[in-house]
Amino acid sequence: MNATPAGANAANICNSGYLSQGALRGARILQEYAPTESAPHMPELPEVETVRRGLAPVMEGQEFERVVLYRRDLRFALPDDFEARLHGVRVENLDRRAKYMLARLSTGDVLLMHLGMSGRFIVTKSTHSAVPGEFYHNGGEPSAAHVHVRFEMANGAVIEYADPRRFGIMDIIPRGGLSDHKLLASIGIEPLGNELSGSFLNSALRGRKIPLKAALLDQKIVAGIGNIYACEALFRAGISPRRAAHSITSHAGTTARAERLAIAIRDVLSDAIAAGGSTLRDYVNAEGELGYFQHAFQVYDRDGEPCAKPDCGGRVTRIVQSGRSTYFCPDCQR
């Protein structure tokens, strides 16, 4: 099989779980409306989950027939025996921990993958290719020069990893060493798991004097919450991002604000995953209908627009906190 990087010229793929051509075209059009902040944006947890769901059908239960490296480092150097440890090995299942995808292998090892700031996977089968999980801050189609890793699977699928900034990560680690791995050891609880609750936030944020939004971005507390969904969750909960984190806690018991915030975090991420997941389905009409969650942003990137809550009357404001844009409604977020 030819090992030349395929690029990302997408065609409509019926009955496959890949993105349709209309969906990809719509995704590229939406890039015109992306914020123009100077700092690059990493994909957030819902986007990573969307990519995982796009890769799972072509990876799970399949063996790596061939692994090709076009360079031996991304953010960090790849293991010296990277190809040998994957060749002929079956992917048992593809999981996610925070923003890391974890391919659990038949050897007992785990292939860890992180998209970094600009990474994406291109899935090709026969003459068709698609990019699972296009998201709000993605740039244009990756060029062949930016394809660094190629997986050729037993089912005929070719999976290429493209990353212009080379800030992504791949590593192979023993399954028993996951919890102690340098990238995973200090990660907080999963925001979609049973551990996230008002009681947890009440305890974890107690005594923290930093702004509440900064605390939500602290991956040692809750894993996987990024800038976009921190803004959206705080809006849904009706809580100001400028509040000190400890101000929503109490020694007397869990506060109503902490309870509302826990619910909002779970709901906003679940809604985003559901919206992103719709981009992996087949489309009937020619243009496709994007399910991307940016269609439902209530505050993010809406500076100056009317508040989405009908009984408010305020306007969305943008401020900068720790070098990141924060969007909120000063009238109804207290």
The residues assigned a catalytic role are: 43-44, 99, 324
To the nearest 10°, report the CA torsion of 70, 74, 79, 84. -30
Residue whose tokens read 């239960």 = 61
User: Are the C-beta atoms of 281 and 249 separated by less than 8 Å?
Assistant: no
Q: What is the DSSP string of 201-232?
A: HHHHTTT--SBHHHHHT-TTTBTT--HHHHHH
**What is the rounded radius of gyration, in angstroms, for the C-alpha atoms of the chain?**
21
Q: Which of 203, 184, 305 is nearest to 255 (CA)?
A: 203
How far CA 307 is from CA of 115, 234, 299, 324, 334, in Å, comes to 33, 13, 8, 21, 14
Q: Is 248 helix (H, G, I), strand (E, B) or coil?
A: helix
Q: Contact at 8 Å (CB) between 291 and 273?
A: no
